[in-house]
Structure 1
């Protein structure tokens, strides 16, 4: 983590407006807590999934000019497509009941969708090639969006959510959902 904080301080020394920080939650928090260059307040940080959660927002609050990141799941932004609203609401309710009201992270939602997607094509009577064929034709609607695989078994048309961390309080705010 000290190396990470030093790297962020070095970026703050450069004549740049922002930086892409490719780190997950824990390393990002350690980086922000350890960085000390006052010029951090002039930087906008860009990141990817794994920045979600109040700890990240708190670590950045008042420390940077802004931060934007992508996510796979943002159920409270009011932009969940109508075909998934009931599915998302049910998932959120069950998760809250089982986890004391704690909201699910995007990684939890991705894991939930992955498990449901695999179960949707699972057939204990199929052999390996048969299961591969079924998986290759996967078309699944989950809480994080639609999952469809192409001939190379790569996900196609997956939507992403863009969120902003507010400078003063560190709270995240929905910005836009890409349409996949």
Structure 2
């Protein structure tokens, strides 16, 4: 955003007082306290193939927010069925690599990295267990921002193991 002349800062935890004009919130369902709805844009990152995160409370948060940014066409349909649709919801497809990942030449410490919840999903545990039989696998939970990017740069491959079978595949267009 700074590149486009928009003053912005990134907060990786709870914000005490909401004094800014607007807030873009990722993983809104993870926060106990959110910015006021009229100054809140939620970047919706969950998958509609499961109701794990699409609780009545999360649907209410999305509905009350100033806007919702959605990455998946399948989720757009799901949200519309819940009454949350354009002009509140805006589709933005996955946009590709973070600039800091371009042309990095760090020594590769890991064959694979997985980041996300690896504890409550038997499916993910099974995949990771099988990979570890032949490869060096790094698993990261609750790691974000530059700390996560630093670990990713040390890995040959980032694996995306979905929590649920049949989940939406997030892909970046070429």
Q: TM-score, normalised by structure 1?
A: 0.33
Instruction: State which structure, 1 or 2, has the greater radius of gyration over its C-alpha atoms.
Output: 1
Bigger relative contact order, structure 1 or 2 (CA pairs below 8 A, ≥6 apart): 1
